[in-house]
Amino acid sequence: AENVMTPRVDVRALEAHATAADAANLTLATGLSRFPVYRDSLDQVIGTVHIRDVLALDESERARTPVTSL
């Protein structure tokens, strides 16, 4: 399990109010494809988002689509 765990200080995550465009930008910045989605703090993870779900959206829809709907 140690090989697949990311230290908490290195976790990149998205707040629940983030958009699909935010997820795309985070992918570009980090090179990662999956992110936890949280409400209030990283202790309250409510789901995950994968970049393939973001890329399935028309680019014009990404800025107004919340990650919680993916």
φ/ψ (deg, to 5) at 43: -75, -10
pLDDT at 1: 52
How many residues are recorded in the chain? 70
Task: List, for residues 24-56, the tens digit of each pLDDT value.
Answer: 999 999 999 999 999 999 999 999 999 999 999
Q: Token pair for residue 65?
A: 């689509």
Residue 1 lies in a domain: no
Amino acid, single-letter form, for residue 51: I
pTM of the model: 0.87
In the predicted structure, residue 10 carries a pLDDT above the cut 70: yes
Residue 46 lies in a domain: yes
Chain-wide mean pLDDT for the chain? 94
Residue 52 lies in a domain: yes
Q: Supply the CATH number for residue 41's domain.
A: 3.10.580.10
Which range marks the domain in which residue 17 is found? 8-69
Residue 64 lies in a domain: yes
